[in-house]
């Protein structure tokens, strides 16, 4: 009796974890779709198509194969890499909506990452 209650509780917890992984993967995929293609090249990250394939497969695995937790963990790693490494670089170069870049450049074409570049003068 107690074992059944514990198993049901664990099963419910794992279903919430799977739902969280799915929502996170959908967020990463939609964010990658909304970023500009040239921002990926400017940030020196893989191509937009590469990230769309990886993040799309992650979302599909989380939706279609919920029992295969090893693939979900691999997808979670890909999502974390996108959120921690790729997305901030895209925002910094102005690759899409929101963030510091806002999708358009402010300032002069000679501005560097820390302000105007005057050629060492």
Q: Does the pLDDT value for residue 87 go beyond 70? A: yes
Q: Report the domain count for the chain.
A: 1
Give the least confident one: 3-12, 69-78, 111-120: 111-120
Residue 118 is assigned to a structural domain of this protein: no
Residue 117 is assigned to a structural domain of this protein: no
Give the pLDDT confidence score for residue 67 in this predicted structure: 72
Residue 116 is assigned to a structural domain of this protein: no
Confidence band of 108 (pLDDT split at 50, 70, 90): low
Confidence band of 101 (pLDDT split at 50, 70, 90): very low
| Domain carrying residue 26 | 2-98
CB 110 within 8 A of CB 116: yes
The tokens of 71 are what? 């693939």
Give the pLDDT confidence score for residue 31 in this predicted structure: 95
CA 86, 89, 95, 101 dihedral sign is positive
């Amino acid at each position: 009796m107690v074992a059944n209650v514990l198993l049901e509780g664990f099963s419910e917890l794992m279903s919430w974890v799977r739902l969280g992984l799915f929502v996170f993967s959908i967020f990463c995929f939609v964010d990658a779709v909304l970023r500009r293609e040239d921002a990926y090249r400017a940030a020196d990250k893989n191509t937009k198509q590469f990230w769309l394939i990886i993040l799309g497969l992650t979302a599909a695995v989380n939706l279609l194969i919920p029992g295969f937790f090893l693939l979900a963990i691999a997808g979670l790693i890909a999502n974390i890499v996108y959120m921690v490494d790729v997305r901030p670089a895209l925002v910094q170069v102005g690759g899409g909506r929101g963030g510091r870049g806002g999708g358009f450049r402010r300032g002069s074409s000679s501005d560097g990452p820390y302000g105007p570049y005057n050629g060492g003068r």
